[in-house]
Amino acid sequence: MKYTQTIKTIIVHPEGEPLFHESATHVAIDDEGGGHYLIITQFPDDPEPGQIRLDPDELEQVYFAAQQLLTQHKNNDNNTTD
């Protein structure tokens, strides 16, 4: 049996701040059998439901993280062996 590794979540956060910082953005990939999709979440101290707030520099990093996860998922689908 062969195994592969899959990264499911990348956390984009301000440099020098911890992973749990209120400005941290979690970019995750998931698949419940109907195809993969991205989940983008934040955990601010004063949340407004349904909002994600990104500054321009952070948006670029979140986009890169999403692309990395999607490319990985596509590559894993193409290289699946039993």
Residue 1 falls inside a structural domain: no
Q: Which two tokens stand for residue 27?
A: 């970019």
Could you give the number of structural domains in the chain? 1
What pLDDT shows up at residue 68? 94
15: confidence class by pLDDT, cuts 50, 70, 90:
very high
29, 70 in Cβ contact below 8 A?
yes
What pLDDT shows up at residue 1? 92
- Please enumerate in sequence order all residues whose Cβ is within 8 A of that of 43, keeping only pairs 6 or more positions apart, or say none: 20, 22, 24, 26
Residue 3 falls inside a structural domain: no
- Please enumerate in sequence order all residues whose Cβ is within 8 A of that of 53, keeping only pairs 6 or more positions apart, or say none: 42, 44
Total-model pTM:
0.77
Residue 82 has pLDDT above 60, yes or no: no
How far apart are the C-alpha atoms of 78 and 68, rounded to whole Å? 15
Residue 64 falls inside a structural domain: yes
- Host domain of residue 72: 9-78
Q: Could you report the per-residue pLDDT of 31-69, keeping only the tens digit for each?
A: 888 888 999 998 877 666 677 888 888 999 999 999 999
Residue 4 falls inside a structural domain: no
